[in-house]
C-alpha cells in the first residue's frame, strides 16, 4: 500500500536554484564541447558522402553554433538561425534583426546575410562550399522550401540527414541521435530545471483549495517557475481537475477545483536552455477509495519500470530497449485490467527540447537506450469522464558509472491538499 505523505513539502526541502557561477560554467562547457559535436556531425556527413549540412531547428543551432533563439522565435525569424556546416565551414544565416546577436553568441560562425532570399542565394552558398550533395533536416523543412532549394541549384542533391530506420522507414536525424547521449553539463542543467519545478510546486501547495480554478492555479505555478530561477517554461502548464484529468494533454480552464477530486499538474522549467518535465496528481481533500486504487496502480507501474532499468544499470548494462522499458510499466497496468486506459508511451528523452530521443514506447526503436542520457517515466491511467492519474519523473542513467538518479524530487507518495 502506498504511503500518504504526513507533511506538506516546502521549497526549502529541495536543492538551491542555480547560481550565476553555475550558468557561466555551463556556457563555457558548451563552448568547449562544440568542436567535438561538430566533428561527430562531419563524420556522419563524410560517411554519407555529403559535402554540407543544412540545419533549421533552433535547438540544433544552439547545440552546434551557440545561437539562442527564444521559444517560438523561429516563427518570425525567417531564415535567421538556419545554419550550414561544411568540412571546414560553419555558417549561420541572419538578417539585420539578428546580425549582432549571431556575432555575439556564435563567434566561430561566418554570418551570411539572408533576407528572405535564400532561394536566390542558395546556388552561390553551395558552390562556395563545393557541395554537390547536401544533407538536410528533412523532417523540419517544408516541402515548399525543399522544392525551392532543389529548383534553384539542380546540380546539388538534397538528401535527408537521417539514419536508417526500421522496416525501411526513415530513422532518427543525425543531430537528434547525437543529442540523446548527454554531456555532464547538459545533465546538470536538466537537474537544475527539475529543482526549480520541484520548488515551484511546493510553493503552490498552500494556495490549492476548493473553489480556485484550474486556470488560476496554472497561472500561479507559471509565475512561481519564472520567478523561482527559471529562464522560462519548458511548455505551457497543465492543471486538470477531476474528470478533466482524464485528458493526457488537456488545457486548464475556468473550472473550479472540487473537494474530493484529483488534481493533475504537468509542467516544466527551462534553465540555460535545458528543460524539465514532471507530472504530479494530488488529492484535494480526502481521496476516494477508487482514486487511491488507481494512484497506487500507476505508482507501482512507474516503480516497475524505474526498478527494471535500475537493475540493468547496476549490472553495468546492457540497458533495455525503449519497448522493453515501456513494457515494464505497461504490463503492470494491463494485469490490473486497465491496459486500454493507458494509450501513450511510458517516456521520452528531454534536453534542449521537451520531447526528444530516446523514446520509451511500444513503437520506439528496438535498440538499447543510450548512456548517459535522461528520460521521463510517466505511465498513466485515464478513466474517460471520471478521473485520471499520471506520475512522471525524469531519470538520468549512466551505465558505465552504474548510476541511476531520479532528478525530480517532489514526493511521489499520496499528497493531500486543500485542507
Instruction: Give, in degrees to the nearest 5, the angle at Cα 92 between 274 and 103.
Output: 80
Q: How confident is the model at residue 2 (pLDDT cuts 50, 70, 90)?
A: confident
Kindly report the pTM of this predicted structure: 0.95
Q: State mean pLDDT over 93-122.
A: 95
- CA–CA separation, 315 vs 301, rounded Å? 22
Strands 162-164 and 170-173: antiparallel
3-state SS class at 392: strand
CA angle at 67 for the pair 234 and 117, rounded to the nearest 5°: 110
- Residue in 253, 328, 271 with CA at minimum distance from that of residue 27: 271
Alpha-carbon distance of 306 to 310, in angstroms, equals 6
pLDDT tens readout for residues 396-417? 999 999 999 999 999 999 999 9
Give the H or E element holding residue 180: helix 174-180
Tell me what percent of the chain is helix, strand and coil, each rounded to the nearest 5. 40, 25, 35
Check residue 3 and give its pLDDT: 78
**Which runs of consecutive H residues, i.e. helices, occur in 315-405?**
322-335
CA distance 56 to 403: 35
Residue 333's pLDDT is what?
Answer: 98
Report how far residue 405's alpha carbon sits from residue 232's, in angstroms, rounded to the nearest whole number: 24
Q: Domains along the chain?
A: 21-180 (3.40.350.10), 182-417 (3.90.230.10)
The pLDDT tens digits for 266-294 are 999 999 999 999 999 999 999 999 999 99
Query: Comparing C-alpha atoms, which of 350, 355, 363 is closest to residue 396?
Result: 350
Rounded to an integer, the average pLDDT of 67-95 is 95
Q: What is the pLDDT of residues 199-252, one digit of tens each?
A: 999 999 999 999 999 999 999 999 999 999 999 999 999 999 999 999 998 999
Amino acid at each position: 500500500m502506498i504511503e500518504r505523505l504526513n507533511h506538506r513539502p516546502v521549497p526549502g526541502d529541495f536543492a538551491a536554484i542555480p547560481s550565476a557561477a553555475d550558468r557561466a560554467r555551463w556556457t563555457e562547457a558548451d563552448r568547449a564541447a562544440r568542436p567535438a559535436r561538430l566533428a561527430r556531425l562531419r563524420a556522419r556527413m563524410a560517411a554519407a558522402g555529403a559535402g554540407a549540412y543544412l540545419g533549421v531547428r533552433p535547438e540544433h543551432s544552439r547545440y552546434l553554433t551557440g545561437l539562442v533563439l527564444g521559444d517560438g522565435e523561429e516563427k518570425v525569424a525567417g531564415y535567421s538561425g538556419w545554419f550550414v556546416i561544411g568540412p571546414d565551414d560553419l555558417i549561420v544565416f541572419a538578417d539585420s534583426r539578428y546580425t549582432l546577436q549571431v556575432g555575439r553568441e556564435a563567434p566561430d560562425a561566418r554570418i551570411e546575410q539572408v533576407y528572405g532570399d535564400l532561394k536566390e542565394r542558395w546556388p552561390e552558398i553551395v558552390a562556395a562550399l563545393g557541395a554537390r550533395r547536401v544533407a538536410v533536416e528533412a523532417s523540419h523543412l517544408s516541402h515548399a522550401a525543399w522544392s525551392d532549394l532543389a529548383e534553384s541549384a539542380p546540380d546539388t542533391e538534397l538528401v535527408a540527414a537521417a539514419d536508417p530506420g526500421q522496416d525501411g522507414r526513415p530513422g532518427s536525424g543525425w543531430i537528434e541521435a547525437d543529442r540523446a547521449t548527454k554531456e555532464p553539463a547538459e545533465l546538470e542543467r536538466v537537474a537544475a530545471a527539475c529543482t526549480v519545478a520541484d520548488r515551484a510546486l511546493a510553493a503552490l501547495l498552500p494556495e490549492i483549495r476548493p473553489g480556485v480554478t484550474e486556470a488560476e492555479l496554472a497561472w500561479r505555478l507559471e509565475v512561481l517557475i519564472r520567478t523561482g530561477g527559471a529562464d522560462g517554461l519548458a511548455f505551457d502548464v497543465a492543471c486538470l481537475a477531476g474528470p478533466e484529468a482524464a485528458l493526457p494533454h488537456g488545457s486548464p480552464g475556468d473550472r473550479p477545483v472540487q473537494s474530493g477530486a484529483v488534481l493533475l499538474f504537468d509542467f516544466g522549467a527551462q534553465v540555460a536552455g535545458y528543460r524539465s518535465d514532471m507530472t504530479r496528481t494530488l488529492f484535494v481533500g480526502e481521496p476516494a477509495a477508487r482514486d487511491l486504487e488507481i494512484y497506487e496502480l500507476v505508482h507501482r507501474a512507474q516503480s516497475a519500470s524505474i526498478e527494471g532499468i535500475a537493475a540493468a544499470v547496476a549490472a553495468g548494462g546492457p540497458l533495455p530497449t525503449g519497448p522493453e522499458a515501456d513494457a515494464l510499466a505497461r504490463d503492470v497496468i494491463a494485469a490490473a485490467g486497465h491496459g486500454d486506459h493507458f494509450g501513450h508511451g511510458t517516456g521520452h528523452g528531454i534536453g534542449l527540447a521537451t520531447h526528444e530521443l530516446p523514446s520509451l514506447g511500444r513503437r520506439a526503436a528496438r535498440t538499447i537506450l543510450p548512456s548517459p542520457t535522461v528520460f521521463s517515466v510517466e505511465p498513466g491511467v485515464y478513466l474517460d469522464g471520471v478521473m485520471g492519474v499520471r506520475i512522471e519523473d525524469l531519470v538520468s542513467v549512466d551505465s558505465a558509472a552504474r548510476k541511476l538518479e531520479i532528478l525530480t524530487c517532489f514526493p511521489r507518495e499520496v499528497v493531500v491538499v486543500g485542507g
